[in-house]
Structure formats: C-alpha cells, structure tokens
Amino acid sequence: MKYITGIVSVLILFSCNGPKSTSQEAAEVEGLSDSLRYEQESHLKNIRQLTWGGNNAEAYWSFGGDQLVFQSDFSEWGVSCDQIFTLDVNKAQPGQRPPMISTSLGRTTCAYFLPGDSTIVYGSTHLGDSLCPANPPRSVGGKYVWPIYDTYDIFVADLEGNIINQLTNTEGYDAEATVSPTGDKIVFTSTRSGDLELYTMNIDGSDVKQVTNELGYDGGAFFSPDGTKLIFRASRPQSEEEIKEYKDLLAQGLVQPTQMELFICNVDGSDLKQITNLGNANWAPYFHPSGEKVVFSSNHESKRGFPFNLYMINVDGTGLERITYDEVFDSFAMFSPDGKQLVWASNRFNGGNRDTNLFVAEWED
C-alpha cells in the first residue's frame, strides 16, 4: 500500500523504453474511443486518465464517490516527496494541480476519507522532522527493500489541510490506515509490538485492538463491504535464515516486500486464511463489491520482478483471473462505493517516461 515511488522507479528503469503494444498502436492509428485499454481487459470500459506526471498512487474514493484522495511526489506541484492531494474525479484534466491537503512537511502516505467526506486520515513523519526522511538503499544484500519510518503517526485533517486530531502516539511505525465502509473502524499497521502487525481502532483513535500476531509483515489491509472481514498482504518467514533476515532488516527500519501472499480474516483476527500461494509479490488487495472476490496486484507470472498487473480471485482462493495487461505496472485498485467504477495506478501509455498515473474505468463483471 505504500512506497510506490521506489517500486515503480526500479521497474521503469529497466522497462520504460519497451515497444508499444499492438492495441496501443491500433488505438493511435484508428482513434478508438477507449485508447487507454488493452484489448484483453474485458472488465474495464471507457478508461479515463486522471493525472499527468510524477508518481501518483493509493487513490481512494470518498464515501460519496465523487472525490479521490491520493499521494504524489510530482515536483511540478512543489513537493519533494509524497504528499496528499484530493481530486474531483469528473474534473481532472492535464495541467491541473489538485489541492494539497497535507502539511508539506515530512513524508506522507495512505490517506483515506472519513465518513462525511469533510476529513481524511493519513500517515505522516512530520513530527519527527519537517524534512523528507532520507531514502535508504534500494537493496540490502542484493535484495529490494522498503523503508519503515519509525516517525510515522496517523493524523486526521480537514480538506483545507488543517490537522485536527492525532490518532496514534506510540513509538515506532504507525501508518497504512484505511476506513471501514460502515464508517466505524480504522485498520492500520504498527510496530508497537516489535513486529509489523495489524490493529483496529475506532475512528476517534480509541479502543485499539491487535488483529494479527504472526511473525512477518502484515499490511495494506482493507475492510470487506459489510465491514466484517479484512483482506491484507503478509510475508511469513519460515526458515531460521529467513527469520533472521526479516528481524535484522526490521531492526534497521527496513522490510523486504518481494515475497508476499494475501490473507483474509474476521475483523477481530479470527478465522485467518491464506488465499494465495502464487509466489513473488501479491499485494494491494481490495474486495470486489460482492464481498466474494478480491482484486489485487501481482508479479507472480514474472521472472524479472515485473510487470505487475491486476488479478482477481475468489475469497476461497479459487478462480484466479487476470484483469490488466500492462507491460510495467498496475496496482492500488479500488472500487467506487457503488461498485460501478475502478480506480488504480498504472504506467500504461506514458510515452516511455517514468510517470505513474491514476486511471478510472467503468467496471463490467
């Protein structure tokens, strides 16, 4: 759910100059109305681009379904690392600078609308330092890593950017917050136990409860449409060597995200089940409106680490289906509240540069 900049820049470094697809060439020559869609993408219709430049990701719908909140590092918008922006889905156009609603201090991540759509919740490092935290090496021992900044805490802000509440105040990493569709709970990831575990709390920060308790990175959690279940990504080191490597990296504020599978459980952590066993990185899951399927991003078909594409799977682990067919990166998919649209981040048709943009499409089952 986080650190899109690192993932995408690494992927595009090796692949941004690849040849155009047949469907792209046909779209450009024939002027097809859905020129941002690959012909195999049968679930997507009338794709529209929403941003043009920078790394834009983790776009999540308002409860009313007309706004998005997302993070971007686009330098032309005056930021030097990820900050939080809002966007009217129906008014997006090239050259537009959406309103920034984070403080511009520190690094931010994982913003989400709260009920009423007048406030948002997001993670920020600004209490630790007003500057963007330093980027760690992209790899340790030849393996790709993510930073887990221990200065992240979770805040509530209004749409003018004023912080009106701080929901976490514990030592270590607190971030990756998302809100239940029923509007009563927040799920987030924290290192307060010494490991990266999931927790829930009320939307005012009260009644914090630990959800997961197995060694490994549990993160990127979302609620089911009825608010009774959670879907999330997790690493599960097994051998002594894997366990030592995981603990050593975590002690340095790092985690290796290259081996993750999807798990589902009740909100209290009971009835925990692993629903993928695909290998490589399976992450950024979100429930289908039916509550019976999950859309997620994966590179399990890749031998080089990319491309990442969207897939869909039943909650019992059956019926795997590929949704997107990009050559580099598709991830962070989220259905609109009415289930009729899908928003996600992609490198599709970006002209061979390193931009990751937001796209929205009508969804067809």
The tens digit of pLDDT for each residue in 242-292 reads: 999 999 999 999 999 999 999 999 999 999 999 999 999 999 999 999 999
Tokens of 288: 């289908």
How far is residue 294's CA from residue 262's CA, in Å, rounded to a whole number?
A: 10
Q: Which pLDDT tens digit goes with each residue over 60-109?
A: 999 999 999 999 999 999 999 999 999 999 999 999 999 999 999 999 99
The pLDDT-based confidence of 14 (bands split at 50, 70, 90) is very low
Is pLDDT of 237 > 80? yes
**Residue-wise pLDDT tens digits, 257-269:** 999 999 999 999 9
- Name the nearest CA neighbour of 140 among 307, 253, 15: 253
CA distance 32 to 266: 44
Q: What domains lie within the chain, and their CATH numbers? A: 4-363 (2.120.10.30)
- The structure's pTM equals 0.91
* 281 vs 297: CA distance, rounded Å: 8
